[in-house]
């Protein structure tokens, strides 16, 4: 097993069960179905998003509605 994977698994063991399940689902998706590879920038964006969620920083309903309106144009 690669050292980075070993470190990641060790870190996930300390998470609450729901976060462990999320990590497991993501890992399984990457390993079994997804041919897509995240860029380093996408990985950093994902990390930042998870950190914001952990701090309880979520978009308001108005912000989400505005975001969806941009797709209707």
Please state, in angstroms and rounded to a whole number, the distance separating the CA atoms of residues 13 and 7. Answer: 10
Confidence check: pLDDT of 62 > 70 = yes
Q: Are residues 46 and 25 in the same domain?
A: no
Q: Are residues 31 and 43 in the same domain?
A: no
Three-state SS annotation for the chain: CCHHHHHHHHHHHCCCHHHHHHHHHHHHHHHHCCCCCCCHHHHHHHHHHHHHHHCCCCCCHHHHHHHHHHHCC
Question: In terms of residue numbers, what domain contains 4?
Answer: 1-36
User: 5-58 pLDDT, tens per residue?
Assistant: 999 999 999 999 999 999 999 899 888 886 778 899 999 999 999 999 999 999
Q: Are residues 3 and 32 in the same domain?
A: yes
Q: Are residues 9 and 30 in the same domain?
A: yes
Residue 54 in contact with residue 46, Cβ under 8 Å? no
> Global pTM?
0.50
Q: Are residues 28 and 2 in the same domain?
A: yes
């Amino acid at each position: 097993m690669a050292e980075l994977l070993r470190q990641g698994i060790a870190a996930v063991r300390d998470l609450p069960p729901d976060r462990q399940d999320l990590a497991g689902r993501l890992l399984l998706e990457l390993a079994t179905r997804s041919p897509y590879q995240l860029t380093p920038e996408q990985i950093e964006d994902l990390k930042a998003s998870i950190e914001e969620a952990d701090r309880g920083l979520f978009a308001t309903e108005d912000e989400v509605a505005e975001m969806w309106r941009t797709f209707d144009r």
